Amino acid sequence: MNLKLDKKDLKPFLQSLIDEADLFAPVQLAEGVLVFKKIDRPDEVDLSSSNTQKPAKEVFSPQSETMFRYEKAGKQHQVTSTEEVERKRVILGVRPCDIQAVSLLDEVFLGKEYTDSYYLNNRNATTMIGMACGHPLSTCFCSSTGGGPFLRKGSDLFFIDLGESFLVELLTEKGMTFQKSNFFKEANTEEISLAKAIEEKALKKTDTSVPVEGIEKRLDLMVESSFWDRVHEKCIGCRVCTYLCPTCHCFDIMDEALTHGGQRVRNWDSCLSSLYSQETSGHNPRPTNRERTRQRIMHKFNYFPKNFGRIACVGCGRCILYCPVQFDIRQAINWTSAKRLKLQRGGRSTNP
C-alpha cells in the first residue's frame, strides 16, 4: 500500500517520533552546513536541502565515542561501559548513497570475524527513514557505483518529496510498525504517478559514466605506477575528504586520564594523515602524500573489493564538493581507465 504524509502533519509526526525515540535528522548548523543531529524540537529539522555535509555514518559510528569510563574507588578501579543504547532511535532523511554506505560499514563492523558491539547496538536500535533525491547534484555519481537516487535498499521507510506531501513506502518489518500511524493516509493514483515522474527525471540526471567496472583489476597493475606521482599533486592532505566520506571508517583509540579516573575514547582517523601510519621507531611506510593518496584510492577500489566484493565508494560526491583544491575522484577513476587502455596498447600513459 502506498501511503502519504501531508507536510502540514510533518511537525506533529516529528514530535511523535521524538516522544518515542531519539530522533536524528538533518539540521542547518550554519549557511550550507547541514549535519545529522539529535533533534529536540521539530522545527530544527531541515528536509528542504540536498544531502548533508557530514554523512549519516556519524549516528552509527560517532566522530568521537566514549567506549568506557573508569573511576578510582579507594584502591579499586570501577569501570563503566558505555555500550548500551538506552532508547530506540530513528534517523530521518537519509539519502540512498548514505544508506548504501551504512551497508558497507556493516561489512566492516559486523563482519564474519569481528563484531563491533558499539556499532551493532546503534544499528539494532535504529530505524532508517530514507529520502529520495529528486534533485541530484552535478557531483553525484551514485548511479555509477551500483546505487541510485531512488534506491530503496537498506531503508525501513522511504519518503519521496511530492511538494505538498511525502509519498511513504514501508519496506521492512521495522517500517511496517508505522502502518497504523495516524499521520499516514492512503496516497491516490495521481500522487503515485507524480512520484514515478520525479523518479524518472532524477534517474536521467545522475552520472552513469564513471568507469568503476573492472577498477579492482586495473589497480592491481598500477601499484608501482608513475600514475601516483601525478595523481596526488593537487592534494594538500587536509583530510576533509576522508572525514566527510560516508564509507571511510578508520578510527584511533585514546585513553584520557584524569586525577581520579578517565575514559577510553575512539575518534575518527584518516589514512591521509602522516601520523596515521607512522611507527613507534619513527619509520613511516607511507612517508609522502603520494603513498597516502594511493592508499585512499586503493583501499576504496582495490583492497575493499578484495575483502568484501564491493567497492567502498557510493558516489555521494562529498569529497568533490568540499575538497579545497578540487581534487575530483571521478577524474582519478577515469585516469585509471585511460592508463589501462595505454597499457593494453603497450604504450606509456601520459595521463593524468
Three cell numbers written together for 324: 579545497
Q: How far is the CB of 339 from ligand SF4 (least distance, A)?
A: 19
Contact pick of 90, 240, 271, 333 for ligand SF4 (by CB under 6 A)? 240
Work out the end-to-end distance of the chain between its first and last CA atoms, rounded to an integer number of angstroms: 51
Q: Can residue 327 be called a binding residue for ligand SF4 (CB under 6 A)?
A: yes
Sequence-separated (6 or more) residues with CB below 8 Å from residue 82: 65, 66, 67, 68, 69, 118
Q: Can residue 315 be called a binding residue for ligand SF4 (CB under 6 A)?
A: yes
Interacting stretch for ligand SF4, rule CB under 6 A, among 122-130, 156-164, 236-244, 254-262? 236-244
Q: How far is the CB of 248 from ligand SF4 (least distance, A)?
A: 7
- For ligand SF4, give the closer residue by CB, 14 or 313: 313
Three cell numbers written together for 352: 593524468
- For ligand SF4, give the closer residue by CB, 187 or 314: 314
Contact 168, 161 (CB under 8 A): no
Sequence-separated (6 or more) residues with CB below 8 Å from residue 108: 249, 308
Q: Can residue 247 be called a binding residue for ligand SF4 (CB under 6 A)?
A: yes
Q: Can residue 246 be called a binding residue for ligand SF4 (CB under 6 A)?
A: yes
- For ligand SF4, give the closer residue by CB, 157 or 319: 319
Q: How far is the CB of 330 from ligand SF4 (least distance, A)?
A: 8
CB count within 10 Å of CB 97 equals 28
Contact pick of 245, 265, 271, 298 for ligand SF4 (by CB under 6 A)? 245
Nearest to 297 by CA among 327, 277, 325: 327
Q: Can residue 235 be called a binding residue for ligand SF4 (CB under 6 A)?
A: yes
Do you find a cis peptide bond into 211, omega within 30 degrees of 0? no
Three cell numbers written together for 321: 564538493
Helix (H, G, I), strand (E, B) or coil at 175: helix
- For ligand SF4, give the closer residue by CB, 136 or 175: 136
Interacting stretch for ligand SF4, rule CB under 6 A, among 29-37, 129-137, 275-283, 308-316? 308-316
Interacting stretch for ligand SF4, rule CB under 6 A, among 66-74, 81-89, 130-138, 321-329? 321-329
Give the integer Cα–Cα distance in Å for 63 and 338: 37
Q: Can residue 313 be called a binding residue for ligand SF4 (CB under 6 A)?
A: yes
Interacting stretch for ligand SF4, rule CB under 6 A, among 88-96, 116-124, 148-156, 314-322? 314-322
Q: Can residue 239 be called a binding residue for ligand SF4 (CB under 6 A)?
A: yes
- For ligand SF4, give the closer residue by CB, 236 or 258: 236
- Main-chain phi, psi angles of 159, to 5 degrees: -105, 140
Q: Which amino acid is at 23?
A: L
Contact 318, 140 (CB under 8 A): no
Q: Sheet containing 22-30: give its strands across.
A: 33-38, 22-30, 89-94, 126-131, 157-161, 165-170, 3-6, 185-186
Site for ligand SF4 in 255-284 (CB under 6 A): 272
- For ligand SF4, give the closer residue by CB, 162 or 323: 323
Contact pick of 173, 280, 325, 344 for ligand SF4 (by CB under 6 A)? 325
Q: Can residue 316 be called a binding residue for ligand SF4 (CB under 6 A)?
A: yes
Q: How far is the CB of 331 from ligand SF4 (least distance, A)?
A: 11
H runs (alpha helix) in 65-154: 96-109, 117-125
For the chain, what is the total number of helices (H) and then of strands (E)? Answer: 13, 12
Q: Can residue 147 be called a binding residue for ligand SF4 (CB under 6 A)?
A: no
Sequence-separated (6 or more) residues with CB below 8 Å from residue 74: none
Give the interface with ligand SF4 as residue ranges (CB under 6 A).
235-241, 244-247, 272, 300, 313-319, 323-325, 327, 329
